[in-house]
Structure 1
Amino acid sequence: MEYRFLGKTGIKVSKLCLGTMTFGGDADEKESEAMFNYCREQGINFFDTADVYTQGRSEEILGRLIKDCREEVIVATKVYFPTSEDVNARGSSRRHIFLSVEGSLRRLKTDFIDLLYLHRFDDFTALEETLRALDDLVRQGKVMYIGASNFAAWQVEKSLGLQGLHNWVSFVCLQPMYNLVKRQAEVEILPMAQAENLAVCPYSPLGGGLLTGKYTTSTKPQKGRLVENKMYRTRYGAKWMYEVAEKFVALA
C-alpha cells in the first residue's frame, strides 16, 4: 500500500480510503467486518464515515472494528445533516457541531476524531461561528484536523481567509465528488487545493458502481441503487455516462 501525507499535516494516510456509508445498511455487521479486515490486510489505514450514515450505525460498527487498532488508523467523520427530528439537530451551528461530535465520539468509542469534515456549507449560520467551534474542538483535543466536504471553491477560500485572520485552525482536506463522469472539481477545486496545499479525498470515485466495469449502454443495472435510489438515479442516469462507462471498460 502507498501512503500520502494528508495535506500540510504530518500524518500519512493510505492512498485508498474505505468509505463506510453502507455499514449497518446494505452491509450488515458481518459483511462490514469482512470489508474492514480485508482493507486492514491490504494496508489501508484511512476510514471515512459520518454521523448520519445509516442513522449512526456506521459509526457504531466502525467503532467496534477499530477498538484493537485505534492508534493505527485515521478516522474521518462529518457533521451537518439532520440527525433527528429536532429542529436544531442539523446545520453547522456551534451547538449542533458540539453535540454531533460528542455523539460521534460515543458511537466510535474513541477519545478523539482524526479528521472532522463539515459535510456541506451552511447558508444560514455565520461562518465565523462555525469555524470558531471547529477551532475550539481542535484545541480541546477532541478533533485533530478539520476539512470541508461539498464546498464550492469560494466557500473554502472564504473559510481559509477567516481562519488565517483569527488565527484559527484551518482546513487541511477537501472532499469533493470526483470521478470520470463527475469532473466539475477539475475547474476550481483541484487547482485551488494544489495552490493552498490542501489534501483532496474524493468521494464516489466509482460513480456509485457505474464505473466498476459491470455496466455498459447495453448492460444497464436492473436493480441496485443506480436504479432504486432516486439520488443515484438522478446523479448517474444519463445515457452519456453509460457510454463513458463502456469506453472505460474497454480501456481497462
Structure 2
Amino acid sequence: MTQTLHGLHRPLGATGLMVSPLGLGTVKIGRDQGVKYPNGFTIPDDASVRNLLALSQDLGINLIDTAPAYGTSETRLGPLLRGQRQDWVIVSKVGEEFENGLSYFDFSPAHTRLSVERSLQRLETDYIDMLLVHSDGNDVSILRDSGIYLALSELKREGKIRGFGLSGKTVEGGLLALADGDCAMVTYNLNQQDERPVLDYAQQHSKGILIKKALASGHACLAPGEDPVRASFELIFAHPAVSSAIIGTINPQHLTANVASAAAVIRDIN
C-alpha cells in the first residue's frame, strides 16, 4: 500500500488553513528558462499536468505553490483546477515578474494590487489562500519601505487573499515578515539551516512556515548509504513550526516516493 499524506494535514499557523506536509511546486509547469536545476527538463503538456494534479490529490497533497514569476504556471493552473477550487490551498506571490527570460521586481502598492487581481483572473478564483512577497533578497527594506504589507492587509480585508507573508532570504526579513504577517517561506535543508530562528519565532507565535529548497542537492554531508530524501524530511519535520515543504517535481515517481518518505518520517516523529 502506498503511503499517503491523508490524515497528516497540519495547520498553517493561525490562518485556519489546513495543509498537507508536502506542497506541489509548479515552477516547472510554466518556465524552463533561468531556473537552477541540475538537469534540464521539458515543460509538461496539459494532460501530464492534469495527471500530476490528480496524483497529488490521491497522495493527500492539497497545497499548490505558484507565482507570476513562474512563467505560465498560474495561467495553466486556472483551467486545470476548474471545479476543484475547494480541494486546494493555493499559494501565490507578488513582487517578482518574469518576462523574456529575465526577472524584474516591483514591490509598490499599485503593482501589488494589479498583480493580485491578475493572479485571481489567471487562476480563475475569487481568492488566494496565501500570498507571499517574492523577495529579491532585500527583505527588510522591502517590508519597511515599499508599503507592500499595507497593500496586502487591505487585500486581505477585502477577502481577495486569506493571508500574506514573505518568501525571503534572511533571518531579519523572516522575523519582520512574521511579526506583521501570517506566514514565511524559508530555505531550510541539510546544507542550509541559518534561517532556523524564523522557525523558532513562528512556533512561539503560531505563525505559518513553508519550506522551500527542501531537497537541496549536495548530499555529500551524509554518511554512505543514508537516504538523502528521508534525512531531509527528518530534519524539516523535526521542527514543530513547519507546516509544509514545497516539492517542485513534475515526475510522478519522484512525487510518490517523496510522499511515502515524508509520511513515514512524520508517523515516526508522531
- Give the shorter-chain TM-score range: 0.7 to 0.9
Within 5 A, what are the aligned runs for 1:193-232?
A: 193-207=202-216, 210=217
> Which residue in the other structure is 1:141 paired with?
159
Q: Is the 8 A contact 2:177 2:184 kept in 1?
A: no
Rg larger in structure: 1
Structure 2 unaligned segments of length 5 or more: list them. 1-5, 32-41, 231-270
Identity of aligned residues (%): 29
Q: Is the 8 A contact 1:112 1:142 kept in 2?
A: yes
Structure 1 unaligned segments of length 5 or more: list them. 164-170, 211-235
Q: Distance in 2 between matches of 1:48 and 1:194?
A: 22
Q: Distance in 2 between matches of 1:203 and 1:6?
A: 15
> Which residue in the other structure is 2:27 paired with?
21
Q: What's the CA shift for 1:31?
A: 2.3
More strand by share: 2
The letter for the 1-side match of 2:80 is L
Within 5 A, what are the aligned runs for 1:48-63?
A: 48-53=65-70, 55=71, 57-63=72-78
> Which residue in the other structure is 1:109 paired with?
124
More helix by share: 1
Distance of aligned partners of 1:71 and 1:130 in 2 relative to their CA distance in 1, 3 Å threshold: same
> Which residue in the other structure is 2:237 paired with?
none
> Which residue in the other structure is 1:173 paired with?
183
Q: Is the 8 A contact 2:90 2:130 kept in 1?
A: yes
For this pair of structures, how many residues does the alignment match? 207
Distance of aligned partners of 1:122 and 1:111 in 2 relative to their CA distance in 1, 3 Å threshold: farther
Q: Is the 8 A contact 1:90 1:96 kept in 2?
A: no
> Which residue in the other structure is 2:245 paired with?
none
From 130, 135, 146, the counterpart of 2:148: 130
Corresponding residue SS for 1:148: strand
Distance of aligned partners of 1:94 and 1:42 in 2 relative to their CA distance in 1, 3 Å threshold: same
Distance of aligned partners of 1:125 and 1:184 in 2 relative to their CA distance in 1, 3 Å threshold: closer
Distance of aligned partners of 1:246 and 1:27 in 2 relative to their CA distance in 1, 3 Å threshold: farther
User: Which TM-score applies when normalising by structure 1?
Assistant: 0.73
Q: What's the CA shift for 1:176?
A: 0.6
Corresponding residue SS for 1:113: coil
Q: Distance in 1 between matches of 2:228 and 2:21?
A: 25
